Amino acid sequence: MKVYTKTGDKGTTALFGGTRVPKHHIRIESYGTIDELNSYLGLIRDQNIATSYKKILEKIQDRLFTVGAILATAPDKAILKNGKDRLNIPLITELDIQLLENEIDNMESALEPMTHFVLPGGHTTVSYCHIARCVCRRAERLSTHLYELEPFDDNVLAYINRLSDYLFVLARKLSKDLGANEVKWIPEKL
């Protein structure tokens, strides 16, 4: 299989199932942003962090490939004529969402309660988490727009939403683990 096909040279691309759409289509923006997020998670996983975080991040990256496949499939092409699911992959489940919630709860139990917003930064790895969180929020905005036009499994939206929460808490936990200064945002008085 060649990397280049030349089929996208006129500004269109094929969805899973064969439908061609413009490369700026909201569906492409949605799963393309999930792909971008996945790459940032790989960058975080490549940092000098605990193996337990790396294992969870790898699971999340796997699930993001599932999210991307779901978003890359037009609803009318999701089911084959024989009634089978075209993707033939596990879907995003409540257990996937629960894993993120459990990880958030575990990390938060070791952190001071939040009293203010925090400024992103303090350590390169922490900053990567904040960038990933922002990309995740963008993926969520794009995916909710797509969902309004062509609904898909609700668990996908819940998973993306919870993932951005996870990334925020991971940034805070890594700040603590790495001894980074967590700077509170305190608005200046006028």
pLDDT digits (tens, 9 = 90+) for 123-162: 999 999 999 999 999 999 999 999 999 999 999 999 999 9
Say what the pLDDT of residue 7 is: 62
Residue 31 in domain: yes
Mean per-residue pLDDT of the chain: 89
Task: State yes or no: pLDDT of 42 exceeds 90.
Answer: yes
CB within 8 A of 70, min separation 6: which ones? 87, 91, 92, 152, 153, 156
The count of domains in the chain is 1
Residue 67 in domain: yes
Q: What is the pTM of this model?
A: 0.89
User: Which range of residues forms the domain containing residue 127?
Assistant: 18-75+89-177
Exposure string of 51-66, with b = 16+ CB inside 10 Å and e = fewer, is eebeebbeebbebbeb
Residue with tokens 């940092």: 47
Residue 4 in domain: no
Mutual angle of helices 51-71 and 94-108, in 10-degree steps? 150
Residue 8 in domain: no
